[in-house]
Amino acid sequence: MRLTDGLTKIKGIGEKTAQAYSRAGIDTVEELIHYYPRAYEECAAPVPIASLKEGGPVVVCGALAADARVRWTGKLKIVDAVIRDETGSLRVTWFNMMYLKDVLRAGRRYVLKGKLSVSRFGMVLEQPVIYAPENYVPLIGKLKPIYSLPAGLTAKGIEKAVKEAFAGLGMLKEFLPSSIRCTYSLAEYNYALRTIHFPSDRTELTFARHRLVFDEFFLFILAVRYLRDVNEVQENGCRIEPSPLVDRFEKSLPFALTGAQKRCYQEILADLAGPKLMNRLVQGDVGSGKTIVALLSLMQMAYNGYQGALMAPTEVLARQHYENFTRLFAQAGVDLRVELLTGSMTAKEKREAYRRIADHEADIVVGTHAIIQDKVHFARLGLVITDEQHRFGVRQREILAQKGQEKGGKIDQENSRQNSRENSQENSQEPPLSLPHVLVMSATPIPRTLAIILYGDLDISVIDEKPVGRLPIKNCVIGASRRKKAYEFIVGQVKEGRQAYVICPMVEDSSAVEGENVQDYARKLEEELPPSIVVGTLHGRMKPSEKNRVMEEFAAGQIQVLVSTTVVEVGVDVPNATVMVVENAERFGLAQLHQLRGRIGRGKHQSYCIFINGSDASKVKRLEILTRTNDGFEIASEDLKLRGPGDIFGLRQSGLMDFALGDIYTDADILKEASEAAKKVLENDDELSQEENRELKKRVDRYLTRKAEMLSL
C-alpha cells in the first residue's frame, strides 16, 4: 500500500464508505492517517456520588433506584432516572432518547459517564454514556481516540480503518535530518504518527504530538521562505499613480481615518507604485477599520485602469461588503462598478457577472472563493485582497493573471470609458498584463515575533488604533452558579430591542470533553427565556446555505439570541448585537476570546461581554485580563505568557492557517524551534540538495504542490 492510494485499498472500505470519507476531504491513505483525533477519552475509575462537584465529565457506578420515566418540556422529551451508590443518590437525564425507558431497569447496576450540572432540582448528570460495569473495568486508565465523525462514518469504523492503513503501509521513510531530531529531542516519525492515534498514556501522547506539531510548523516555514525568495524577484507590472479622486472620496466619508489607518494606507500606496509586487499583511485588531483601507486601495487600482478583487470567508460577509461599498459610492457620487460573486447565485446571475468581469464593466469584484473558479476571467486584475484564511502564492497569482489574457469584445471599449473619466491618464495605452498585487488582512492579533515567523514572505503593516467614537466593551467574568443572572441580563437587553450571542465550545454533547454544546444549550435556553424571544443555532456542521440563512435572520433581527460555536469569529457585522455570553471561557485562548467579542461593540449602543468560567477556578485570574483591556495585541502577548505547554485535551486556537494540531500560542516554543531549525537547514543547504536533506526536499515539494492544488486564496 502507498500513501497516494485511494481508500478502497484499505481492507473494509468500499466505494460507498470511500465517498463518505471524500465528503470530509479524505481521499487517500495519507490523508486518513493525518486525520487526527479531536480528543481522547480517558476512562477514569468511578467515584462516590457524595464526592461529586459541579463541572467536568464524571463517572459513577450504582444501581437504578426505580424504572426510568419520561416527561415533556415543550417539544423536548426527557428521560429521568435516579442512580444510587453506598454514599448517596443522583438524578440523571437524557434528552430525546425515549428508547432508554424500555432499556433501563430498577435495581440493575450501571456505570454512567457524563457531565454534571446544577439545576433547580440540584445536581444532575446530563446525557451520560451507559456501560455495564464488567465492560467498563478493562477501559479504566486507558486513552481512546475520539474522531470528528463526518456523515456516514462511525468512530469504530475510522479507528479500524486507521489501524488497517498502518498495517498496510509498513514503515514510512523518516524525512527530518537526524541532526534536527537530536537537537530538538523529536520522536521518530512512524512512532509519532501511530501514537497520536493510539497512545498508551498522556506522556506518550505529548511526545508524539510535539513531533507532529514541529513537522507542521517546520514544513510551513520552509514553504513560506521559499515563496519569499520567489516573491523578492517579482517585478511590479501594475504600477500606479495615486488618484486625486480617491482623496476626494476619503474626505467625503462620515468619519476620519485614524493615524494608524493613514500610515497603513501610505505603506500600501508605496508598494503599489514601487518596483516590486506588493505582498503585504495588514494586521488590525477587531473593529480597527481594515476594510476601508482595503476599499481605498481597490479604488486606486480601478482609477489606474485595473480591476481589484476582495475575497471574504463567507457569503454573508461578502454581501455585506458589497452593500457597504455600493452605498458609500452612491453617497459620494463615485462611478466605479462593484460586482458581487458568490456560490449561491443562480446560474444566470453568475453568467452575467462573468461577462461584466471579463468585459471590464466591473471595476471591483467582491465575493467568496467563487472569484477564482475556472469560469471567471478578469480583463486586467491588478490587486487581490484576502483575509488570513485565504493565502496563496506565485502559482495562484499566475493563474489569476492568466484569466485576463483572453481579450476581445468590450475590452478595447473599456479604454475609452476609462480615459473619459475625470482622472484619466494622459496616455491611453493599456497597462501591460502582470501578476496581481496581494494584500492579506488579519484580525488575529499575533505578537510581532510570531507574525514575522508565520508571515515571513509578507511585509507587515499594523493598524493599532480604534476608530473615534467606539464605546469600549464592558466585560465581566462569572462562575457557572451566576448563569441565571446572565440570562436575566439578556432578557433585559432584548426588551430594549438589542440582540445577543451565546458561544459554546462544542456542537453536540461529548462525554470525553468537558463543555457546553450548542444543541443542548439552545434547548435549555428556550426553556429559560420568555417564549417571545427567538433562539437560533449556528455551527460549522451546518450547510453553507443554512449558515447564511441563520446569519441573515440574525442580522435582520428575526433571531434575538444566537447560540453558536466559534464560527461567528469571522462573521457579518450586527451592530444591534450588544451582548455576548461565552460558556466555558476557560477552555479558549485569550486571543480567541478577544476575537469572539469583536462581534459586538460595532454599533452606537453600549455592549457587554460575559465570560462564564465553567469549572476551573484557577483560570479566573487569567480570564480577568480580558476585563482589564480591549487591546488585542496586549491580550495576545499575555496569552502567550500564560498558556504554557500545549493543552492537548483543550480547544485548539481556530481560524489561523490550516494546522491540524499546532496552535501558535500554546505551541509558541515549538514554532520558534521550527523557525530556528528551518533557518539552520537553509543556511547550510538552501536548495535542499544534500544527501541528508533528500527526503526533506521531497516532503517540501509535496507540501508546496498540495497548497497550489488547493487553489484557495
Structural contact between residues 480 and 54, judged by C-beta atoms closer than 8 angstroms: yes
Query: Which domains, ranges and CATH numbers included, belong to the chain?
Result: 1-40+155-169 (1.10.150), 44-140 (2.40.50.140), 171-233+670-713 (no CATH), 237-419+431-463 (3.40.50.300), 474-629+631-666 (3.40.50.300)
Of 504 and 421, the one with more pLDDT: 504
pLDDT of 277 over the 60 cut: yes
Q: What is the pLDDT of residue 637?
A: 72
Q: What is the pLDDT of residue 56?
A: 66
Q: What is the pLDDT of residue 569?
A: 60
pLDDT digits (tens, 9 = 90+) for 546-558: 888 888 899 889 9
CA-CA-CA-CA torsion sign (261, 266, 267, 269): positive
Q: Which of 491-505, 607-621, 686-700 has the lowest mean pLDDT?
A: 607-621
pTM of the predicted structure, to 2 decimals? 0.65
Confidence tier at 419 by pLDDT (50, 70, 90): very low
Confidence tier at 643 by pLDDT (50, 70, 90): low
Rg (CA), the chain: 28
Q: What is the pLDDT of residue 411?
A: 36
Q: Is 605 exposed, middle or buried (0-12, 13-18, 19+ CB in 10 A)?
A: middle
Instruction: Give the three cell numbers for residue 131.
Output: 456501560
Instruction: Give the three cell numbers for residue 545.
Output: 446555505
Q: Is 141 exposed, middle or buried (0-12, 13-18, 19+ CB in 10 A)?
A: exposed
5-25: b (≥16 Cβ within 10 Å) or e: bebebbeebeeebbebbeebe
The Cα–Cα gap between 598 and 302 comes to 31
- What are the angstrom distances between the C-alpha of 298 and each of 112, 356, 360, 401, 557? 59, 17, 14, 17, 32
Q: What is the pLDDT of residue 294?
A: 95
Q: What is the pLDDT of residue 658?
A: 61
* Phi/psi of residue 256, nearest 5 degrees: -100, 140
- What are the angstrom distances between the C-alpha of 147 and each of 162, 197, 368? 11, 10, 29
Q: What is the pLDDT of residue 648?
A: 38
Among 88, 559, 371, smallest CA distance to 383 is for: 371
Residues present in the chain in total: 713
Q: What is the 3-state secondary structure (H, E, C) of 612-668?
A: EECCCHHHHHHHCHHHHCCCHHHHHHHHHHHHCCCCCCCCCCCCCCCCCCCCCCCCH
Q: Which of the given ranges, 219-228, 462-471, 676-685, has the highest pLDDT on average?
A: 676-685
The Cα–Cα gap between 539 and 613 comes to 21
Instruction: Give the three cell numbers for residue 638.
Output: 499575555
Count CB-CB contacts under 10 A for residue 710.
12
Helices (H), 529-568: 544-555
pLDDT of 544 over the 80 cut: no
DSSP state of 16: H
Q: What is the pLDDT of residue 340?
A: 95
pLDDT digits (tens, 9 = 90+) for 298-343: 999 999 999 999 988 778 888 889 999 999 999 999 999 999 998 8
Q: What is the pLDDT of residue 707?
A: 59
Among 364, 207, 387, smallest CA distance to 282 is for: 387
Give the end-to-end CA distance of the chain in Å, rounded to a whole number: 33
Instruction: Look at phi and psi of residue 516 and say left if phi exceeds 0, alpha if psi is from -120 to 50, else beta.
Output: beta
DSSP state of 255: S
pLDDT of 204 over the 90 cut: yes
Residue 491: strand pairing partners: none
pLDDT digits (tens, 9 = 90+) for 109-137: 999 988 887 776 678 888 888 899 998 88
